[in-house]
Amino acid sequence: MALAGIELRYLVDHITEQARDYYVSNIYGVDKNSILFKLHHTQKEDLFMMISTSGVWLTGVKVEQTEPNKLLKRLRGDLLRLRLKKIEQKGTERIAYFTFEGFEKEFVVVAEFFGDGNILVCNNEMKILALQHSIDVRHRKLGVGLAYSPPPASETDILKLAERDFDLLASSDISSAKWLGRNMGLPKKYVEGIFGIAQIDPKTIGRDLNPEQVAKIYKTTKKIIDDVVSGNHDAAIIESDVLPVRLAEQCVAVPSFMEGLDRIFTSGIVERGRSIRSGESEKVIEELQTRLDEQQKAIGTVKAKSDSISRVANSLYEMVSRGITSISDESAQEILAINGARLATEKGIQLLLVHDEKIKINPDSPLQSLASVLFDAAKRQSGATKSIEAAVIRTQKKLEEARSKTEAQMRLAAVSHIRKKSWYERYRWFHTSDGMLAIGGRDAPSNSAVVRKHLDDNDKVFHADIFGSPFFILKTQNPPITSVSEVAHATVCFSRAWREGMYGVSAYWVNPAQVRKSAPSGEFLPKGSFSIEGQRNFIKTETLRLAVGIIPHGDEYVLTCGPPVPIMRDSTCYAIIEPSGSGMAEAAKKIKIELGKLQDVAKDMSIDDYIRVLPAGKSQIKETGRGGAG
The predicted structure's pLDDT at residue 205? 96
- pLDDT tens, residue by residue, 362-385: 888 888 888 898 888 888 887 778
pLDDT at residue 399 is higher than 70: yes
Three-state secondary-structure class, residue 546 = strand
Please state, for a pLDDT cut of 70, what percent of the chain lies above it.
94
Which is nearest to 542 in space by CA: 496, 468, 489, 491?
Answer: 489
| Cα(529)–Cα(38) distance, integer angstroms | 29
Report which of residues 448 and 78 the model is more confident about. 78
CA-CA distances (angstroms) from residue 538 to 315, 432, 463, 492, 513?
103, 19, 10, 12, 17
Instruction: State the pLDDT at residue 412.
Output: 46
As to burial, measured by CB atoms within 10 angstroms (0-12 exposed, 13-18 middle, 19+ buried), residue 397 is: exposed
pLDDT at 415: 60
Q: What is the mean pLDDT of residues 425-437?
A: 94
Phi-psi region of 554 (alpha: psi -120 to 50; beta: other; left: phi over 0): left
Q: Is the pLDDT of residue 233 over 90?
A: yes
Task: Report the pLDDT averaged over residues 359-364.
Answer: 87
pLDDT tens digits, residue range 554-604?
778 999 999 999 999 999 999 999 999 999 999 999 999 999 999 999 988
Q: How far apart are CA 229 and CA 246, in angstroms?
A: 14
Query: What's the pLDDT at 506?
Result: 95
Half-sphere exposure of 593 (CA within 13 A, CB side): 7
Q: Give the pLDDT band of residue 613 (cuts 50, 70, 90).
A: very high
Q: Is the pLDDT score of 89 beyond 90? A: yes
Rounded average pLDDT over 424-430: 92
Task: Check pLDDT > 80 for residue 282.
Answer: no
CA distance 27 to 589: 24
In this predicted structure, what is the pLDDT of residue 70? 94
Q: What is the pLDDT of residue 413?
A: 45
Chain segment 171-228, per-residue pLDDT in tens? 999 999 999 998 888 889 899 999 999 999 999 999 999 999 999 999 999 999 999 9
Q: What integer is the mean pLDDT of 251-267? A: 88
d(C-alpha 214, C-alpha 125), whole Å: 44
| Residue 481, pLDDT score | 95
Q: Is the pLDDT of residue 622 over 90?
A: yes
Contact 215, 246 (CB under 8 A): no
Give strand pairing partners of 96.
111
- Tell me the average pLDDT of the chain: 89
Region 302-330 average pLDDT:
87
Mean pLDDT across the stretch 294-300? 85
What is the pLDDT, as a whole number, of residue 66? 79
Interval 304-330 mean pLDDT: 87
Give whichever of 418-422, 484-488, 555-559 has the largest mean pLDDT. 484-488
Please determine, for residue 242, whether its predicted confidence score (pLDDT) is greater than 80: yes
- Torsion, Cα of 591, 594, 596, 599 (10° steps): -110
Q: Is the pLDDT of residue 100 over 90?
A: yes
Per the rule left: phi > 0, alpha: psi between -120 and 50, beta: everything else, 524 is beta
Choose the weakest-confidence range: 78-87, 208-217, 263-272. Answer: 263-272
Q: Is the pLDDT of residue 355 over 60?
A: yes
Residue 410 is predicted with a pLDDT of: 54
Mean pLDDT of 394-421: 69
Say if residues 512 and 456 touch (Cβ distance below 8 Å): yes
Find the largest Cα–Cα distance for the chain: 124
